[in-house]
Amino acid sequence: MILADSEIISRLKSGNLVIESLNWHNVLDQIWPSSLDIRLGNTFRFYKRDSLTLIDPKEKVDERHIETVTLDENTPFILHPRQFVLWVTVEKIKVPYDLVVRCEWRSSLWRLGIIIHSTAWFIDPWFEGTITLEITNINEVPVALHPGMRIWQFAFETLLWDVINPYDKRKGSKYMNQILPEVSKIHSDI
């Protein structure tokens, strides 16, 4: 069952669901009938094409091949066609044991050709941290992305049974407590 706005607000107020950095003055601007808008942070990362010719999932990408950029709140980033970046959310989430978070695109951005997370559509119970957004421009023209803009939606679904292996305890939970956008850690799976 997906939570309605009233239950989202109730859980946020009680502390059962924790989302840091919500703008409580305008929180209703972020809450829709059955979802919560999430905003784009000011830090993103990308793989340097000029120094990296191949990514092998069995190998960790050396940090010298990854660029990290932090923008001020008034500076947009121009995402060019076919460009891929990893971007962090403003909001940090702590998911309770009885919820899973479904992550959905905002259709307004999809209509501009911006794809966010063509995979990784949900967040497990007991995950805590910011969310790394995988963003690609499939449009034929550049699109400006602004720190603080509403870019994504969370829908919260209740679980029918108790979780026996929550994210924070599960072996292989690579992204727990992330703060900055995280590059792939698939090399640790292999």
110 backbone dihedrals φ, ψ, rounded to 5°: -55, -40
Q: How far apart are CA 70 and CA 44, in angstroms?
A: 7
Q: What is the largest CA-CA distance in the chain?
A: 50
Does the annotation count 73 as an active-site position? no
Q: Which of 73, 52, 71 is nearest to 63 (CA)?
A: 52
The pair of structure tokens assigned to 142 is: 């550049």
Q: What three-state secondary structure class fits 173?
A: coil
Pick the catalytic residue: 104, 134, 157, 182? 134
DSSP 62: P
Count CA within 13 A, CB hemisphere, residue 32.
Answer: 14
Q: How far apart are CA 74 and CA 63, in angstroms?
A: 27
Q: Catalytic site residues? A: 134
